[in-house]
Amino acid sequence: MIRWFLILSLLQLVAFWKILGRMGFPPWLAILASIPVFNLVLLYYVALAPWPREARGAVPPAGAAGPDDADF
């Protein structure tokens, strides 16, 4: 039982590490996502906070008009 918990926790850690890094958040938050209540807090924080990559202008926010969407 403990072995499966450790294996699944490690798989979750890798996934959170990659996702948070790509979104512009510090990847070390993935370690805290292994704590049962904190992972829900982290999920809502990531979903509702403005993403750092969007703030730097690297990725346009969802629904924003791109350079191909010219107003005529």
Q: In terms of pTM, does the model score above 0.75?
A: no
- pLDDT for res 72: 46
Domain ranges of the chain: 2-50
| pLDDT tens, the chain, 72 aa long | 889 888 888 898 999 899 888 888 888 888 888 888 988 898 898 888 887 777 776 655 566 555 555 554
Question: DSSP per residue over the chain, as a string?
Answer: -HHHHHHHHHHHHHHHHHHHHHHTS-TTHHHHTTSHHHHHHHHHHHHHSPPHHHHTTSSPPTT---TT----
